[in-house]
Amino acid sequence: LSPSHSSWDAAYERELQTFQDIGDAGEIWFGEESMVRIIRWLEKHKVPLDSSVLDIGTGNGVLLVELAKSGYMNLTGIDYSPSAIQLSEKVREKEGMSNIKLKVEDFLAPSAELSGFDICIDKGTFDAVSLNPDNAAGKRQQYVGSLCRVLKPEGFFLITSCNWTKEELLNEFREGFDILEELPTPKFCFGGRIGNSVTALVFQRK
């Protein structure tokens, strides 16, 4: 277990405890607006409600709950942290969303049954993989390989990142993916220069 694995697990352990104590789902990585952005894109492109959707690194599962509330029926969330999956199971039960499937899975070594998805969504998992002190470049390659395995040809991949620019992400996913569009994200101003703190892109698998 790498140090990053155990610290994520500890973070979710705390959130799990908090949820049990006060019924609060805890931190939503990237905040509310990133979920709204994803759901709006799916609706705008009339992505069918029975499309199979995979949330990579689901964390507390809140995005899946929002997708279910928007009418999506075929939802799967994976996370390598058992505490995260326990937390998302509690969130799912509280919301009464029995059609959300949750599994402990390491996306860099996905099980055989994780395949054939129409849509994959990542908010921050690729970032976390990229920060792994142990062979980050190799891990990023593994990630792209896994994505090619689990996503159907012509399927959509929606990624939200706060570590990578659009150009860098285009380079990371150039094998096997075409960029469809960049989604608008909040701008921030630093020293008089305007930049994006968050990049959100939609790719289509070739």
Of 190 and 62, the structure prediction assigns the larger pLDDT to: 62
Q: How far apart are alpha carbons 139 and 130 in whole angstroms?
A: 7
Residue with tokens 């009464």: 96
Which backbone phi and psi does 70 adopt, to 5 degrees?
Answer: -85, 0
pLDDT at residue 2, as a whole number: 47
pLDDT tens column, 125-166 = 999 998 878 889 999 999 999 999 999 999 999 999 988 999
Starting at the earlier edge strand, list the strands of the sheet with 100-104: 100-104, 74-79, 52-56, 117-123, 151-161, 199-205, 177-183
Q: How far apart are alpha carbons 110 and 115 in whole angstroms?
A: 9
Q: What domains are there in the chain, each with its CATH number?
A: 5-205 (3.40.50.150)
Share of residues in the chain with pLDDT > 70 (%): 83
3-class DSSP string for 18-74: HHHHHCCCCCCCCHHHHHHHHHHHHHHCCCCCCCEEEEECCCCCHHHHHHHHCCCCE
Average pLDDT over the chain reads 87
Which backbone phi and psi does 153 adopt, to 5 degrees?
Answer: -55, 140
Q: Which helix (H) or strand (E) holds 141?
A: helix 136-150
What does the pLDDT average to over 86-112? Answer: 93
What does the pLDDT average to over 5-29? Answer: 60
pLDDT at residue 195, as a whole number: 65
Residue 72 has pLDDT above 70, yes or no: yes
Nearest to 154 by CA among 57, 41, 51, 76: 51
Residue 24 has pLDDT above 50, yes or no: no
Residue with tokens 């799967």: 76
pLDDT at residue 9, as a whole number: 75
pLDDT at residue 170, as a whole number: 97
> In angstroms, what CA-CA distances link 53 with 21, 26, 58?
31, 23, 12
pLDDT at residue 29, as a whole number: 46
Residue 185 has pLDDT above 50, yes or no: yes
Nearest to 60 by CA among 6, 24, 99: 24
Residue 1 has pLDDT above 80, yes or no: no
Residue 169 has pLDDT above 70, yes or no: yes
pLDDT at residue 13, as a whole number: 73
Residue 173 has pLDDT above 80, yes or no: yes
pLDDT tens column, 104-129 = 999 999 999 999 999 999 999 999 99
